[in-house]
């Protein structure tokens, strides 16, 4: 799964990387502890044009009357993405890219929850596959919402957690966004073993209120 991540990459660099038109109200960066329900920046494609704009992390199905009417859907399992009522329409027609510097996972040592920071071994931006939905709230309000697609972990990553985000290579972005027709389902697989690097970080990140570059710095022992 992916329940926290960091995004430290400047908006200008992301707009250039994706060839997208930016929104005026992008979430601030850098952010070292992005949590579900917070705004994140995502890339969508409409009529051949890519847009880079804010979305609430946590997809709200169209039948929810209130964002808390059901479970918080911040992850979507690749194996059931096309079947679950909350995700199946988005899986077909509303897929997005969610960039990150890296994401966090936790292991347990006794009663302690030990956090790890995971990023690409080549230091490239980590681009996660997502699905999105515009939720129509009370009094005509409209909120763009999204979820990160996950798949089974392999190799060394599987020792940290059994799930990882689906991470897409640049050559796959257009297909995932629906710009190259059908076949996006084949992209829902983990990166090869060794493509991701990870290190222990301090337990300060266990608090969803923590923020700052020290959260992703390596530590050699539990803190």
Q: Taking the alpha carbons of 70, 76, 82, 83 in that order, is the dihedral positive or negative? A: negative
The pLDDT tens digits for 163-214 are 999 999 999 999 999 999 899 999 999 999 999 999 999 999 999 999 999 9
Mean pLDDT of the chain: 95
Domains identified in the chain and CATH numbers: 5-216 (3.90.1680.10)
CA distance 76 to 130: 8
Residue in the structure block whose two tokens are 């990150």:
100
Cβ atoms 132, 55 nearer than 8 A: yes
> 57 — phi, psi (to 5°)?
-80, 110
What does pTM read for this prediction? 0.96
The pLDDT tens digits for 112-125 are 899 999 999 999 99
Residue in the structure block whose two tokens are 């992005």:
34
Which among 76, 102, 131 has a CA at the least distance from the CA of 5? 102
CA distance 28 to 7: 10
Work out the angle at residue 65's Cα, subtended by the Cα atoms of residues 176 and 40, and round it to the nearest 5 degrees. Answer: 40
Q: 3-state DSSP call for residue 59?
A: strand
* Peptide bond preceding 15 in cis form (omega within 30 of 0): no
* Other beta carbons less than 10 A from residue 35's beta carbon: 15
């Amino acid at each position: 799964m992916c329940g926290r991540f960091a995004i430290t990459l400047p908006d200008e660099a992301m707009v250039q990387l994706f060839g997208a038109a930016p929104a005026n109200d992008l979430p601030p960066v850098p952010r070292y502890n992005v949590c579900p329900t917070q705004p994140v920046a995502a890339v969508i494609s409409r009529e051949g044009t890519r847009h880079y704009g804010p979305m609430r992390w946590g997809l709200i199905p169209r039948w929810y009357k209130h964002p808390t009417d059901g479970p918080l859907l911040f992850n979507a399992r690749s194996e059931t993405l096309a079947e679950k009522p909350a995700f199946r329409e988005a899986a077909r027609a509303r897929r997005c890219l969610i960039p990150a510097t890296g994401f966090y996972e936790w292991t347990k040592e006794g009663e302690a929850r030990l956090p790890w920071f995971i990023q690409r071994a080549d230091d490239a931006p980590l681009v996660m596959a997502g699905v999105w939905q515009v939720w129509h709230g009370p009094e005509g309000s409209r909120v763009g919402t999204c979820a990160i697609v996950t798949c089974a972990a392999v190799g060394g990553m599987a020792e940290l957690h059994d799930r990882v985000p689906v991470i897409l290579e640049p050559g796959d972005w257009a297909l995932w966004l629906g710009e190259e027709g059908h076949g996006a389902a084949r992209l829902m697989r983990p990166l090869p073993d060794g493509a991701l690097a990870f290190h222990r970080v301090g337990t300060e990140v266990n608090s969803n209120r923590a923020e700052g570059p020290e959260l992703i710095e390596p530590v050699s022992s539990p803190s």
